[in-house]
Structure 1
Amino acid sequence: MQKLGDIFIATGLITEADLEKAMKEKNTSLSIAEVLITLGLTTDKAVAEALSTHLNLPLVELGGFTVESEVLEKFTSKLANKYMVFPLENTGKTIKLAMANPLDFDAIQAVEFKFACSVSPVISSYASIRSIIERYYGLEEDIEEIIKDARYDQGPELLEETPDPSLNILKREGQSSPIVRIVNKILQKAVKMNASDIHIEPQEKDVRIRYRVDGIMNEVMQLPKQMLNGMVSRIKITASLDIAERRLPQDGSFKMLLEGRAYEIRVSTLPTKFGEKVVMRLLNASNPTVWLDEIGFLPSAM
């Protein structure tokens, strides 16, 4: 059976040294392709193109793709997110399946069992599949289900300060699939509620998530304390902050498309007694400038 790493070397996408470096960073929640992308050794698009060429499978861009509702009837957001796959067509006893990793036979078997038919895989990038999942499922995936997938350690928590996790561990936690999905859901929910700020606040035994809506702080959820480092690392990576620096405040920003609108998200981190606190300010970059005369001000008042 072919392996992703061997394919990437054969196509000239990476070197053996790159693969060795990625294998040292790999954990069970990420494929070798995702690790290579995370380390900056290749790109999402290049991975998809290499797999398409080597395996002689079609490369499909899902941006303008329309999927019939009956195709999605048996499919769930949990299945799509778990395996990074998405059903495109169901013809007779065959389902055309967009896959980021077409060598993931666990994914193929899960879909074949669910639909009682054979799978015809096509290649799509991770970003393309995440985008179409968000477009069709939105916030349907429940955060509780994502937490179950995270398989975090539920052992006793030490109250005294422990040594800083290594940079590699923080990177892995920040890029794990459940962590990425939870951070995305927190952002999406904030936009749905028209929140201006998101506060991620570590407490002694859990993590409190609060949104500022119309100037009022509202607690919207509590998450297990064990997820804090992963969430903070994910946000820091996205905002180009130093994930190894946990004792000093940091500021950064990133841009993201949420609910079809472009947002600039300003990030501030601050060390606290129970871990790093994160505040994110959501600025709708799609909003045009509104002039005073357009909101009812009389010329004499301007």
Structure 2
Amino acid sequence: MQLPSEDLPLRRPSEKRTGEILVEMGLVTPQQLAEALEEQKNTHSRIGEILVAHGCIKTHELAEALGRRLGVRFIDLHDTRIDPAATNLITERDARRYAALPVSFLNDHTLLVAMVDPANIFAIDDLRILTGYDVEPAIATEEDIFEIIAKLSKLEDKVGANIEEEHTADQRASAEEVRDILEQVDEAPVVKLVNGVIAQAVEDEASDIHFEPQAKEMLVRFRHDGVLHEVMSIPRRMQAGVLSRVKIMADLDIAEHRIPQDGRIGLMVGGKPIDMRVASLPTVYGEKIVIR
């Protein structure tokens, strides 16, 4: 599974038509294109739709050709590592509304978003406002985008709906500090992200979840069979909110960052109780949290 790279160059939009590009890619023959063009005169359907309907090409091949025409990258969502920190920046409703799925962070300011229609500038502008990031559109098939949206929603609900109410923040924290922290903790992206990480760990049968602050980001790693595997990176600006969310769920002091703390989180998953031990440990770049 590959991770989209910010170094992958974008092509310029092509002046060729979609049919010509498909022939150039070796996906259809000139004869098949000619027959499809003739049919198009009567049906007024798009040439790509006709070729897909006749079994000449597959939907992902059409999407790749459209990507070449528009000058955007094509993403096979089943062969790409999707960063939950990115997907959680928008709601499921907005993802379906714009037929779009945030895939990963290309840098501190830019979000890679898979879209059915990457030429929809109105959707891109709205996504920029919703996420707070510049948006680099890419193209993916409609089937893949909605399949992943449904999968992520189901996965989050599996645990998120069963998470017990958070405990009250420790009274030793100053009122101002608690207010600032809770403003971040209560933001929907933070809540969805933490729930999504826990849901993914349960689904993957991971034994540990590690939140590890770094100089420019926070890594999330799962332990499988004694080995830690990186599953995502979280932008540094979300770090405090994510860590505080976990600490509140575990009844830890959110204002204490200098000494180790231990707590527990109780969940109901599939009707079965799951008890998670939580440990925080101060590091150079912030608190590391381990959930077991």
Q: TM-score scaled by structure 2?
A: 0.41
Larger radius of gyration: 2
Choose between structure 1 and 2 for higher RCO, CA contacts under 8 A separated by at least 6 residues.
2
